[in-house]
Amino acid sequence: MDDTEKTNIYQQTSSPQGTIIPEEVSAEIERPEEISGSIPPDFPTDVPVYQESNNKWMFVIGAILFFLIVFGLIYWFFLRDLIQPLKPPSSSTEDITLTYWGLWDEKDVFQPVIDDYQKKNQHITIAYEKMSSEQYRVRLLARSQTGNGPDIFRFHNTWLPEIQEVITAIPADIMTVEEFNAIFYPIHQKDLKINDQYYGIPLMVDGTVLIYNEDIIKQAGLLNPPTTWVGEGNDVLSAIKQLTVKDTSGNIITAGMAIGTATNIEHFGEIFGVLLLLNGGDFKDLSTQEAAEALELYRKFAEDGYWNEAMPVSTTAFIQGKVAMIFGPSWQILNIKSQNPDLNIKVAPVPQGLDGSAISIANYWAEGVNKFSQHQAEAWKFLKFLSEKEQLLKIHETQSKTRLFGTAYPRRDMGELLHDHPYLSAVIQQAEDDAYTSLPLVDRTFDAGLNDEILKYLEDAISSTANGTEYSAALGTAGQGIKTVLERYKIE
């Protein structure tokens, strides 16, 4: 998605020159005039020795010392913070190497913009490394805390509670809160902010969309995919009934939608999360009636025979033409088309609720700066550079040379560039409509923590209802486990 970390003692050690130090006089001689030759004959010996000169100098020295001490204390406690900001910033040109841990994208995707930045900042070297997704978050934490972590790293939009010990905030002199709000979408503002500071810069936006096979839709006599979950007309349940094809034995040949189970549906947590939020539920409290009703609706599609655990994993089934509609982020389209380029795929927003409310689960990655980095300011400057229009266009263009399409732009002022995109228009529409909500129910983040643990509890709950467990009872068990996970990451 770091943030920059943001005595003088005055001592008087020498005595003034000219101080008169009386000679040592023997204790046996009571009168100094008795020493032959020590005092001129005409010197009045009955006048007492007077040391006004010594006392005067001691007074002056004491006053100076007192003044210096008082001034030092005033400077230390009151003036230091006012004076120091007036000092001109250092213009260090030392050679700096910034280590950048990326995910998913090869080095070639970022190299053109890295080259541009290094030409303008010749003392900076950006060392990009594509990391493996397996145990990525665990390695990030472990290596950062031992001083071997990256300066810049990619993290999932749900991860902030899991990585707070290694991430730092964007300095105000790099990007203010007001600037961030003006540039990026509402979901970025909700996800990447802790208190009054932002902790990451997004280079993309993505979330759950409805991915459908247009050929199957048309063959079933539908003009468009469903736009609502329940109701009359163009709703999910009606569309599924029309799209599902079975053989004479009741086996599913073509399913209308992959929904209703957990073990063979990718992104089942996100689908359940949408239904939960549309029904007014809260994933932090699954003991409510709203939560039980959401699970009942989710399971209905399987219980009514429109999907079952005998079907292939949802994405595989879609690639094979065995299901008309699935849910997932836009990057799933890349996976599908790479395995079956001939599929006629289209994308639509997630169906709305009865009241017209639009909900989708956000699923994207952002860039952050390591708290243990020795060059946090330089790292943030580079990330700000990447988030500018010119660089985002170049990254998107480079991505599109090696795959079907690049990631959706995170900037509000670039949304119109994707309004007619065949695969990303729905992503941008949901971002502009503020339909995205983030929940730690996201599949394939590989966090070995928040998302993975919560999804396991939810998977067990969904599967247990297939074996006869009541919805509320199944969610009650899952809710206790989820509560433990949330407490561990201090999520209220």
Residues 317-333: what's their mean pLDDT? 98
Least confident span in 48-57, 220-229, 244-253: 48-57
Does residue 408 or residue 38 have the better pLDDT?
Answer: 408
- Interaxial angle between packed helices 107-120 and 376-386, expressed in degrees from 0 to 180 and rounded to the nearest 10: 110
159 token code pair? 């991860």
Cβ neighbours of residue 434 under 8 Å, at least 6 residues apart? 185, 186, 187
Placement of tokens 């595989």 in the chain: 316
Q: Is residue 326 domain-shared with residue 181, that is, in the same domain?
A: no
> Considering the entire predicted model, what is its pTM?
0.81
Sign of CA dihedral 414, 180, 3, 140: negative
Residues 237-244: what's their mean pLDDT? 96
Within a domain: residue 60? no
- 436 in Cβ contact with 410 (< 8 Å): no
Taking 70 as the threshold, does the pLDDT of residue 19 lie above it?
no
Q: Is 352 helix (H, G, I), strand (E, B) or coil?
A: strand
Length of the chain (residues): 492
As beta bridge partners, residue 193 has: 198
Q: Is residue 341 domain-shared with residue 330, that is, in the same domain?
A: yes
Kindly state the percentage of the chain with pLDDT values over 70.
Answer: 81
Within a domain: residue 119? yes
pLDDT recorded at residue 5: 41
Within a domain: residue 122? yes
Distances (CA, A) of 386 to 10, 13, 404: 48, 56, 22
pLDDT recorded at residue 42: 41
Distance CA 489, CA 135 (A): 18
How many structural domains are present in the chain?
2
Distance CA 220, CA 348 (A): 18
- 436 in Cβ contact with 209 (< 8 Å): no
What is the CB neighbour count within 10 angstroms for residue 70?
10
Among 439, 441, 437, 461, which Cα is nearest to 451's? 441
Q: Is residue 195 domain-shared with residue 228, that is, in the same domain?
A: no
Q: Domain range holding 237? A: 209-361+449-488
Within a domain: residue 73? no
Within a domain: residue 59? no
Q: Is residue 384 domain-shared with residue 335, that is, in the same domain?
A: no
Least confident span in 75-89, 135-149, 392-406, 432-446: 75-89
pLDDT recorded at residue 76: 54
Q: Is residue 338 domain-shared with residue 479, that is, in the same domain?
A: yes
Within a domain: residue 368? yes
Taking 50 as the threshold, does the pLDDT of residue 4 lie above it?
no
Strands across the sheet containing 252-257: 245-246, 252-257, 323-328, 209-213, 345-348
Within a domain: residue 74? no
Q: Is residue 244 domain-shared with residue 321, that is, in the same domain?
A: yes
Q: Is residue 196 domain-shared with residue 220, that is, in the same domain?
A: no
DSSP for 130-174, written as a single string = EPPSTTHHHHHHHHHHTT-S-SEEEEETT-GGGSTTTB-PPPTTT
Among 222, 245, 243, which Cα is nearest to 233's? 222
Write the CATH number for 287: 3.40.190.10
Distance CA 440, CA 361 (A): 9
Among 190, 95, 111, 159, which Cα is nearest to 386's? 111
Distances (CA, A) of 103 to 147, 259, 394: 21, 29, 18
Which burial class, exposed, middle or buried, applies to 356 when counting CB atoms under 10 A from its CB (0-12, 13-18, 19+)? exposed
Q: Is residue 237 domain-shared with residue 248, that is, in the same domain?
A: yes
pLDDT bracket for residue 10 (50, 70, 90): very low
pLDDT bracket for residue 13 (50, 70, 90): very low
Q: Is residue 347 domain-shared with residue 405, that is, in the same domain?
A: no
Within a domain: residue 68? no
Sign of CA dihedral 392, 395, 398, 403: negative
Q: Is residue 236 domain-shared with residue 309, that is, in the same domain?
A: yes
Kindly state the percentage of the chain with pLDDT values over 90.
Answer: 79
Q: Is 447 helix (H, G, I), strand (E, B) or coil?
A: coil
Q: Is residue 225 domain-shared with residue 325, that is, in the same domain?
A: yes
Residues 457-483: what's their mean pLDDT? 96
C-beta contacts of 135-144 below 8 A and 24+ residues apart = 135/446, 135/448, 136/103, 136/446, 137/162, 137/163, 137/446, 137/447, 137/448, 137/449, 138/448, 140/101, 140/166, 141/165, 141/166, 144/370, 144/371, 144/372
What is the CB neighbour count within 10 angstroms for residue 397?
12
Q: Is residue 411 domain-shared with residue 478, that is, in the same domain?
A: no
